Every structure is written in structure tokens, then in C-alpha cells.
Chain A
């Protein structure tokens, strides 16, 4: 069974640009969550989508947005990039039920210059 895949794996952007990251969940999983990992703040929850609806959102500015498609694939968008957005962005998928485990992808390493 294929795991969670994320594309691209590495990305370099400049301040002010926008970026879109993609996540394909494990087959059959309907929930996709996004996390930001930085050395200073650690792992922080961005948002979670289930059946194309955002169910929960973390404490990030509105520049961070996402969506989920009918095949459960998800995209995350960051507009007007700032230097502090440089991070590893991790996506995780699950069935989305009460006692589920989240399975993580390898992440997208975003560098903002």
C-alpha cells in the first residue's frame, strides 16, 4: 500500500511570492492534516480537511490556506511569503475517525530567500 506522498520535496521561493504544496493521502483515507515544522517552534498544526471540508484550523495567519479535492488529495497555499515561512511542511492522512492514527508523508522543504 502506497504511503502519503508530497510534492514537491524541495522548493525555493523569494519573499512576496506564493507557493502551493500538494499531498496525496493513503488510499481510502479521507482526512488530511498539515503541519509546519521549524527548529524554533517545533511541529505546529495548520489545518485539517475531511471530505473536502476544513474541520479544524490552527493559529496561523490567513496567508495560509488549503483545500481538499473529491479524491481526498489536498493542497496547501501560502501567499505573500515571508522569511519566517521557511520550514518543513508535513502532511498526514487518516481515516478521520475517533481513534485513528495519522500517517505522515516525507514533507516539503520550503526555503524563502
Chain B
């Protein structure tokens, strides 16, 4: 079956530090890949996505590239801010039946950014 493995947290960084959160996946076929972010007490917000190999998703300074050869979708940001403190989830969609209706998530990585 499909699975997503992301680096265990928590991750603690100082403001303006470089961020990498590793994510690798196992899937049949060609899934779409996503990063979602969850702020305390809230639901999930889509951060970025990529739908095919070599696509780069980007948003709010965050980037991730769909690497089919290494089955990876690592999240990066060049300079984090205190407001980036949240839990980050890597996810893939199951395209069987031609739909993205089922997301498989990683365990989540808690990021804390200190001033």
C-alpha cells in the first residue's frame, strides 16, 4: 500500500535559519504530492503541491521538488520566521480510479522557530 515517511521532530530553529524537512514515499503509479501545515488549534492548510515528476511546488518561501528517482518531496525554506512554527505534514494522493480523494499522510513534523 501507499505510505509516507517524514523526518521525526520536533525541529527547533532560530529565526532566519534554513529549514529542511525530509519526506519520502512509497506508492503505486504516479501520485500527487502535498505539504500541509497545521497551526495550533486549527485544521490543515495546503502549503504547496506537485502533481508530476520534477514539478516544483512553492508558496510563502517554501519549496519542494517531486523527485521520482528518489521517491522524495523534501520541504525547504531559506529563512524561517517565528510565524512558521507549526506542524508540517507530507501527503500523497491515491489516483486509483482517477481521483485524488484519498490522502495518505506522514506522521507530521513539529517545527518551532525561536526569535
Contact = CB atoms under 8 A, between A and B. Distances in A.
A90 B102 contact: no
Contacts, number: 69
Interface stretch (A67-75, A76-84, A104-112): A104-112
Interface in B13-47: 32, 34, 36, 42-46
Nearest to A6: B43
Interface stretch (B63-71, B77-85, B104-112): B104-112
Contacts of B98: 97-98
A105 to B, nearest CB: 5
Interface residues of B, number: 25
Interface in B53-104: 89, 91, 95, 97-104
A97 B45 CA distance: 19
Interface of A: 4, 6, 31, 33, 35, 42-43, 45, 48, 50, 55-56, 58, 90, 92, 94, 96-107
